[in-house]
Amino acid sequence: MITWSTVISMYARHGCCDDALLSFVEFQRSSVERPTEYILASLVRGCAQSGGLDEGAQDVYVGTSLVFLYANNGGIDGARSVFDGLLDKTDVTWTAIISGHVKCGRSEVSLQLFSQMIDAGLLPDKYVISSVLSACSALEFVEGGKQIHAHILRREAEMDISVVNVLIDCYTKSGMARTAGRLFDHMEVQNMISWTTMISGYMQNLYDKEALKLFAEMTGLGWNPDAFACTSVLTSCGSLEALMQGKQVHAYTIKANLEFDDFVKNGLIDMYAKCDALEDVRKLFNVMDGKTVVSYNTMIEGYTRLEKPEEALDLFHSMRLASFSPSPLTFISILGLSTALFALELSKQVHGLLTGLQCGLHQSGISMDLFAGSSLIDVYSKSLLVRDARLVFEEMNDRDIVVWNAMFFGYSQQMENEEIFKLFLELHNLASLQHGQQFHSQIIKRGLDFDPFVTNALVDMYAKCGSIQEARKAFDLASCEDVACWNSMITTYAQHGEAQAALQIFEEMIIAGVKPNYITYVGILSACGHAGLVEDGLRHYNSMCGLGIEPGTEHYACMVSLFGQAGRLKDAVDFIETMPIEPMALVWRSLLSACRNAGDSELGKYAAEMAISLDPTDSGSYTLLSNIFASKGMWFDVKKVRQRMDETGVLKEPGKSWIEVNNEAHVFVARDWTHYEADFIYSVLHYLILQIKEIGYVPNDAAVIIDD
C-alpha cells in the first residue's frame, strides 16, 4: 500500500495525471485493499492543480478522479452523474466508470457503457478489457467473452496476464472449461490467480480428474496453493470419492496453516462426508471452532445418504439448539429422511417450521418453495394425504417440473384421473415445452391420451410452445373421431402460417367422415387469408354455406382479411357492403389492417371510424390508424389519434411474448423492464443491433407510435 501511495502521489504532484490515474487502475486490479483517503485526495488535488493543463483538461482529469472516488466508496450513482456531466472523456475516464460498475455488481450496465465507448471511436485498453471480461464472467455471457477475445486477437494485442486470467474465468463460468484449459496451457507465464482460477473452473464444470491433476502439477512446480485452490480441489476429491488424495490435501492445509480457514474447514467436512468416512468427518466436526450452517448441512446430508437417521436428527436438533436457522438444503435432507422413514409427524413438524420461516427466507432472497415443496408433496402423497400435498402445491410461488411430477404422482397413487386432467390443464397454460413433454409422457402411462379433451389440450399446449411437430404427433397418436381434435390441429397450422398443411388435414378430416363445424371454417378461412389463397378461401366459404353452416362475424372478418392480404381492397369493401348482417367492429378492423398493409390512409380512416364507433374502448383500431398515418409521415394526424386515445381513456395493450430458458418460462411485454435481468437483456440486444447494422440492417421505424 505504501509503495502504491508513493507512486500515485508522485505522479499527481508532478502533473502526470494520466500516469497517476493508470497507476491507480493498476493498484485496484492488483490489490484487495481499499484505497486510502490520502491516495484519493492526492489524485484529485494533483489533477486539479496541474499547471500544465488547460481548464478543459483539468475538468477531465478532476472528473475522472471523482469518478474513481465515488465508485470506490460505493457511490456509483454519483460516479455516473459526474461521468455524464463531463463534456470530454478520455479512455481512462471510460475505464473508471466501466470498472466501477463491475465492482459494484452492475455488470450489465458496464456492457452498455462498453458499447457506448466503442461507438465513440475509442479503443479499449487492457484495463477496460479486463473489466468487461469480468462483467461477461459474472453474467455467464460467453458470446460477449468470445467477441472480446476475438477483438484482442484481431488487433494482435499482447494479452496481459490479468486479462488472460479473467478470460479463463469467463470461459469456465460459461461451461467452456476445455477452451479455458487450452488458453491456460498456452500462457507463457502463469501466476497464482491463473492456477487457482483454472483449478476452480475444472471443478465447477465437473472435470474433477483434471482439477486434481492440475493441483498436483501446481505443487510439483513449487507453487503453494491458497485456501481457494484447496477448497476447489477438496470438492473434486469428494465428487470422485478420492479419499487418499483428499487426505493428502488435508495434510497440506495443516502444513500451510490453512485448516482454520472457514471455506477449507467446510471443504474438508464435505470431502470426508462424500467419501463416506463418517468417523473422520465427525472427529473433524467435533473439534471444529466456528461451526456454520454449511458444516451442519454437510454432516446431516452425509448421515441421511448413509441411512443413519438417528445421527442426522441428533445433529438437526443440535443445530436448532445452537440458534442456527436451517437453510433450504437442511430441509431437503430432513424431509428426505422423513420420506424414507415414512415419518409423517416429522414431515408435519418440518412443514410447520418452514411456514414459520417463510417470511424470513423470502426477505433474504431464498425461495424455500422450490427446494422443499416437492419433498413435502412427495411425503404427503406417499402417506396418501393427497389433499395436504395439494395445499402445499397451491402455496408454492414457483414450480418446476419436479414439483408438477410430484403432484401428478400423488394423484396417480389414488387413481384420481379427473384431478390429473385438471392439473394438466393448468400446466398447458404455462407455455413450457419441456414441462409439457414430461407431463405428456405421464398422461400416456395413465392411458389418458385417448381422451379428446386431453388431445385438444396437448395440441394447444404444443402450439403455444411453437412446436408444431409435437402437436401433430399428439394428434396422430390420439386417433380422434371428435371434431374438436381436428379443429385444434387446423387452427394450430393456421396460426403458424402453414396454410397447405391446414388444408391437407381438412381434406383428411372429410375423408375420415368427420363433419366440419363453425370453428373448423374459421381455421380454414384464416389459413387461406395468411397465405393469400383467395380462390381457395372463396371455395371453402361457399361450401360452408352449402353445408348449412351460417357464417358468423369471425368468418366475415376472415374473408375481409383474405381479400385485404391479396391487396384487393375494393373486393373487401364490396364484400362488407353485401353482408346479410351489420358488420361488427372485428370486420372493420380486418379492413383497417388491410389498409395499413396497402398504405391506403383514406379508406383506413373510414374503416377506423366505423370500428371505433362500434367498439370505442378497443385500442387496436387506434393503433392501426396511427400506424397508417405514421407510414405516410402524417405526424400531426398521429398526434391527433394519440390525443383522442388519451381523451377517451383508451390504453394500448402492450405486446406479450414467452420464451423458455433452463426449464423456466419467461413472460415479456413490450418495453418491459420488470425482468430481473432486464439490463443485461437490453445490453445484449443493443450489441446485436450494432452487429446487424454493420452487415446492412436498416431499421424501419415508419410504424412506430410517437408519444408526446
Does the pLDDT value for residue 152 go beyond 70? yes
532 Rama class: left (phi>0) / alpha (psi -120 to 50) / beta: left
Does the pLDDT value for residue 197 go beyond 60? yes
Whether the CB-CB separation of 606 and 638 falls below 8 Å is answered with no
CA distance 239 to 203: 9
Looking at residue 524, what is its pLDDT? 93
Question: How crowded is residue 535: how many other Cβ atoms within 10 Å of its Cβ?
Answer: 9
Residue where the block lists cell 369493401? 573
Cell readout for 304 is 441421511
Domain annotation for the chain: domains and CATH numbers: 572-694 (1.25.40)
Q: What angle do CA 619, 622, 626 make, to 5 degrees?
A: 135
Looking at residue 480, what is its pLDDT? 66
Cell readout for 361 is 427466507
- Residue 658: phi and psi, rounded to 5, are -125, 150
* Angle in degrees, 0-180, between the axes of helices 585-598 and 601-614, rounded to the nearest 10: 160
Whether the CB-CB separation of 381 and 410 falls below 8 Å is answered with yes
pLDDT band (50, 70, 90) for residue 366: very low
Does the pLDDT value for residue 379 go beyond 90? no
Looking at residue 215, what is its pLDDT? 96
Does the pLDDT value for residue 308 go beyond 60? yes
474-524 pLDDT, tens per residue? Answer: 787 766 677 878 888 898 889 888 899 999 999 999 998 889 999 999 999
Does the pLDDT value for residue 686 go beyond 80? no
Q: What angle do CA 453, 454, 458 make, to 5 degrees?
A: 120
Whether the CB-CB separation of 505 and 486 falls below 8 Å is answered with yes
pLDDT band (50, 70, 90) for residue 682: confident
Does the pLDDT value for residue 244 go beyond 70? yes
298-337 burial: b if 16+ Cβ within 10 Å, else e: bbbbbbbeeeebebbbebbeebeeeebebbbbbbbbbbbb
Mean pLDDT, range 330-348, rounded to an integer: 58
Is the pTM above the cut of 0.85? no
Question: Which range, of 17-31, 129-143, 347-361, 550-564, averages the lowest pLDDT?
Answer: 347-361
Question: Which range, of 148-157, 305-314, 543-552, 618-627, averages the lowest pLDDT?
Answer: 148-157
CA distance 493 to 591: 23
Cell readout for 335 is 424431509
Looking at residue 61, what is its pLDDT? 59
CA distance 508 to 202: 56
Does the pLDDT value for residue 360 go beyond 60? no
DSSP symbol at 327:
P
Please spell the DSSP secondary structure of 27-81, one letter per residue: HHHH-SSPPPHHHHHHHHHHHHS-TTS-HHHHHHHHHHHHHHHHHHTT-HHHHHH
DSSP symbol at 377:
H
Does the pLDDT value for residue 621 go beyond 80? yes
* Cα dihedral value 25, 28, 29, 31, nearest 10: 140
pLDDT band (50, 70, 90) for residue 3: low
Looking at residue 470, what is its pLDDT? 81
Looking at residue 525, what is its pLDDT? 93
SS3 call for 475? helix
Mean pLDDT of the chain: 77
438-478 pLDDT, tens per residue? Answer: 666 666 666 665 566 666 667 777 776 677 888 888 787 76
- In order of 49, 228, 340, the CA distances from 384 in angstroms are 80, 47, 15
